[in-house]
């Protein structure tokens, strides 16, 4: 995966391997994942302790990132797990690699 700077990204964070997943979109992946990890995002991700970055996909524009996010949200869970495991089979936290 390429390393996004401040560019639109679709991302998946997980509570653990094969755990709860959250799919989102952001214009600053490093900041957004930091917010998840430190409990600054209220709601689902804080409640379910979803903070391990397991997959991301940079996009040229926010419009394309949003369109991809909407498409992926329609996918079955098994398809999302397969998407993650194609590039990150051990579900390692990719956040440290971004820094």
Question: What are the sequence ranges of the domains in the chain?
Answer: 9-98
Whether 43 shows a pLDDT value over 90: the answer reads no
Q: Provide DSSP, 26-89.
A: ES-HHHHHHHHHTT-STTHHHHTT--EEEEEEE-SSHHHHHHHHHHHHTS-HHHHHHHHHHH-T
The DSSP element (H or E) to which 22 belongs, if any, is: strand 21-26
Instruction: Find the mean pLDDT for residues 59-76.
Output: 97
For the stretch 55-67, pLDDT in tens is 999 999 999 999 9
Q: How confident is the model at residue 6 (pLDDT cuts 50, 70, 90)?
A: confident
Please state which CATH class domain 9-98 belongs to.
alpha beta
- Determine the distance from the C-alpha atom of residue 97 to the mean position of all C-alpha atoms in its chain, rounded to a whole number: 14
Whether 35 shows a pLDDT value over 90: the answer reads yes
Instruction: Find the mean pLDDT for residues 42-70.
Output: 94
């Amino acid at each position: 995966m390429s390393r996004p700077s401040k560019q639109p990204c679709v991302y998946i964070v997980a509570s653990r391997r094969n755990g709860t997943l959250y799919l989102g979109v952001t214009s600053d992946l490093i900041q957004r994942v930091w917010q998840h990890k430190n409990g600054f995002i209220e709601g689902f991700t804080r409640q379910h302790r979803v903070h391990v970055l397991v997959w991301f996909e940079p996009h040229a524009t926010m419009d394309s990132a949003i369109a991809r996010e909407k498409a992926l949200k329609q996918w079955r869970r098994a398809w999302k797990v397969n998407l993650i495991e194609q590039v990150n089979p051990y579900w390692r936290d990719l956040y440290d690699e971004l820094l």
